[in-house]
Amino acid sequence: MTSKVSTVIRRLCAGVALEHAWLAGALATLSVGLSACSGPPAGASSGPQSTETADEFVARINRDLTALDLEGNAAEWVQNTYITPDTEMLRAKANDRYLAYLSRAAEESKRYDGQQLSPETARAIQLLRVNVSAPAPSDPAKRAEMTQLMARLSAMYGEGKYCPPGKGPEACQNLDQLSKTLAESRDYDTLVEAWKGWHDVGAQMREPYRRFAELANEGARELGFKDLGVMWRARYDMSPEEFDAVAEKLWQQVKPLYDELHCHTRAQLAKKYGEDKVPAGKPIPAHLLGNMWAQQWNNIYDDLLKPYPNASIESANRALKAQKWDAVRMTRSAESFYTSIGFPQLPESFWRLSMLVRPRDREVVCHASAWDMDPSRHDVRIKMCMNPTEEDLFTVYHELGHVYYYLHYSDLPRMFRDGAHDGFHEAIGDTVNLSVTPGYLAQIGLISPVKPSKEAVINQQMKLALDKIAFLPFGRLIDQWRWRVFSGEITPEHYNAAWWELRKRYQGVAPPVPRTEADFDPGAKYHIPDNTPYTRYFLSYILQFQFHKALCDAAGYKGPLHECSVFGNKDAGRRFSEMLALGASQPWQDTLEKLTGRREMDASAIIEYFQPLMAWLKEQNKGRQCGWE
């Protein structure tokens, strides 16, 4: 639906409508056969008037979508927090109505092609045409089939379990339990079992996913795009080809950092599990990195990768448990960071209506997300299954970043209530997390006071790199797979092989047991069944360092970037607020320039940040056989 950050494709940013030849071409071929649509959907005001001006049209769309959002958000929220056949059906129906409306509105907007429009109106119309991550075919039967598949895939992921063979249903384990094993066990075979147990959940999604992708692609083609992957990339205010070049350039900038981290990590894992299990020059077995998808590796920091075990900087895991931090306390802690930089307290309804822990009596989709339920009432929520771990603590700070973005742009017209682009939305909470320094964690009593030393700096940098640097190739590869699925380059007979080929190429990891085309390992990652575009996270992991540097400058900070925290700094908070309040009302380049003084996404801030660790890693890796075949 429209307002949950994890599923929305954030809308296209551009200056004046049809200024870009590539988009004008795509839209000129708009040929949605909408005659089958009957009347305005529930919640929509009366249909189009042929005399309607473009400004009136946009005002009507803003009004109608605001009304439709309420129903769609409510249906999707309930389906996510109470999975039953009934809520699945209700979500599919609400989504159906919403998508029918969007298709019709996109078609109607063609009336204004070639007209002189105000930049604001032109922009709203552009955003309208690309603001959906799964456009429906115009055939109502196909649209219904697609929305049912979307709800089904979401439920399959939420209900997924591993049931060890020969044991009763009480032995079944959900994703939280299996993830805990991946984070905490250091027994090779136990890890294999948990890894395989979860990945096998994907197999049942293969056929529904194949059909879903086919239908959504058809929807994208009807809108004039070559395929859905091209449509997703049309969101970034440049041609898809230009965007590919930008993303590739960023990846090449940061790849050397990843290569050093990979080399050192593999050497440490070989010490732990043996050279036979983790050979030099080969991809790392994907189940040894502390995370189900090997996407962030910080769970193996404390015992396997802490450079100086006797120096400062441990993870907050132990203290969170010992001090019995619960989900409310973790969320309050995040809120208090935001209020320290001048942001408002969370509304009372946030506390009443959010889901912070896994309910005991029903199935839910536990993957963390933030929801903009009703901007007019400031009804914002998060949905998480929090446990007292450092990972979840950082995640709740992340989610509140989305929530504060929603609150900041709640007064904008509907088409502009969005991130400058989706990477901005993902980067807000993570930027704040870069100020959650060891000093801050010590201040709130979660780690021992830091004794400043060169060793402590390297420890801290390693801990952070296992999150921020380890993630980069993962963030890059997910949509490499999907874009190729949508373009037809990867066919269903090669879904899994292509997935592992990309995981090997980018991340240098390999499955711990042989996988075949009977498996569907992409389905074991939330964003695939949920159809959430993923390049947003890759962009966010670069942007958040640019934002952090800009906020530190705004705070008047002068030292090395990795020691800066803007905790408590109202000047930094004001600059951040100004950016958030702009939402999607102007091209993201203008918004980025306002905060950072630059119009390009650029990796030099993350490179600067990790300079001390890079020097240290290069030293460690001397004489090692780095890379993988």
Any idea which residues carry the catalytic annotation? 367-368, 398-399, 402, 426, 527, 537
- In Å, how far from its chain's centre is CA 604? 22
Which residue matches tokens 């950016």?
Answer: 579
Angle separating helix axes 570-582 and 535-554, nearest 10 degrees: 140
Radius of gyration, alpha carbons of the chain: 24
Whichever of 374 and 426 has its CB closer to Zn ion, that residue is 426
The string of DSSP codes covering 549-578 is HHHHHHTT--S-GGG---TT-HHHHHHHHH
Among 368, 466, 469, 564, binds ligand X8Z (CB under 6 A): 368
Question: What is the spatial distance between Cα 85 and Cα 78, in angstroms, rounded to a whole number?
Answer: 12
Determine phi and psi for 63, rounding to 5 degrees. Answer: -70, -50
Residues 292-331 that bind ligand X8Z (CB under 6 A): 295
Of 185, 215, 52, 54, the C-alpha closest to 126 is 54
Shortest reach from residue 141's CB to Zn ion, in Å? 34
**Considering the rule CB under 6 A, would residue 6 count as an interface residue with ligand X8Z?**
yes
**Which is closer to ligand X8Z, CB of 305 or CB of 366?**
366
Query: Which residue, 295 or 389, has its beta carbon nearer to ligand X8Z?
Result: 295
243 sits near ligand X8Z (criterion: CB under 6 A): no
Return the number of the residue (418 or 426) whose C-beta is nearest Zn ion.
426
Where do we find the tokens 């066919």? 491
**Among 236, 537, 538, 628, contact with ligand X8Z (rule: CB under 6 A):** 537
- Least distance to Zn ion from the beta carbon of 5, Å? 5
H or E segment and range at residue 232: helix 228-233
| Under 8 Å between Cβ of 583 and 408 | yes
Q: State the binding partner of 553 from Zn ion, ligand X8Z, none, CB within 5 to 8 A by kind.
A: none
Work out how close the CB of 499 gets to ligand X8Z at its nearest, in angstroms, rounded to a whole number: 15
* C-beta separation of 173 from 161 below 8 A: yes
- Which one of 420-428, 437-445, 459-467, 597-605 is the stretch in contact with Zn ion (CB under 5 A)? 420-428
Least distance (Å) between residue 368 CB and Zn ion: 7
Closest residue by Cα to residue 290 from 191, 452, 182: 182
The reply to whether 157 sits near ligand X8Z by the rule CB under 6 A is no
Amino acid at 154: S
- When asked if residue 469 is in the footprint of ligand X8Z (CB under 6 A), the reply is no
- Rank residues 290 and 413 by Cβ distance to ligand X8Z and give the closer one: 290
Cα(495)–Cα(484) distance, rounded to whole angstroms? Answer: 10
CA 402 to chain CA centroid, Å, is 11
Output 133 or 295, the one with its CB closest to ligand X8Z: 295
Q: Find the shortest distance in angstroms from Cβ 530 to ligand X8Z.
A: 9
Which does residue 7 bind out of ligand X8Z, Zn ion, none, counting CB within 5 to 8 angstroms by kind?
none
**Which one, 131 or 148, has the nearer CB to ligand X8Z?**
131
Size of the site for Zn ion (CB under 5 A): 1
Pick 379 or 426: Cβ nearer Zn ion: 426
Q: Is 369 in the site for ligand X8Z (CB under 6 A)?
A: yes
Cβ distance to ligand X8Z smaller for residue 315 or 433 = 433
- Residue 395 interacts, among ligand X8Z, Zn ion, none and using kind-specific CB cut-offs from 5 to 8 Å, with ligand X8Z
| Smallest distance, ligand X8Z to C-beta of residue 368, A | 4
**Among ligand X8Z, Zn ion, none, residue 87 binds (CB under 5-8 Å by kind):** none
Q: Are 589 and 237 within 8 A, CB to CB?
A: yes
The site map against ligand X8Z for 380-409 (x = CB under 6 A) is: ---------------x--x-----------
CA–CA separation, 596 and 40 (whole Å): 44
Site track for Zn ion across 421-460, x = CB under 5 A: -----x----------------------------------
Task: Tell me how far, at minimum, the Cβ of 395 lies from Zn ion, in Å.
Answer: 9
What six digits make up the tokens of 487?
């373009």
**From the CB of 171, what's the least distance to ligand X8Z, in Å?**
27
Q: Which does 409 bind (CB under 5 to 8 A by kind): ligand X8Z, Zn ion, none?
A: none
Q: Sign of the CA dihedral 232, 238, 239, 240?
A: negative
Residue 331: contacted member of Zn ion, ligand X8Z, none (CB under 5 to 8 Å, by partner type): none
Helix H or strand E encompassing 509: strand 509-510
Rounded to whole angstroms, how far apart are CA atoms 371 and 629?
43
DSSP result, 107-161 = HHGGGGTTS---HHHHHHHHHHHH--SSPPPSSHHHHHHHHHHHHHHHHHHHH--
Three-class DSSP category at 356: coil
Is residue 583 exposed (0-12), middle (13-18) or buried (19+ Cβ within 10 Å)?
buried
Q: What is the DSSP letter of 7?
A: T
User: Does 5 participate in binding ligand X8Z (rule CB under 6 A)?
Assistant: yes
Least distance (Å) between residue 374 CB and Zn ion? 20
Which residues would be at the binding site for ligand X8Z (CB under 6 A)?
5-6, 295, 368-369, 395, 398, 537
Which residues would be at the binding site for Zn ion (CB under 5 A)?
426
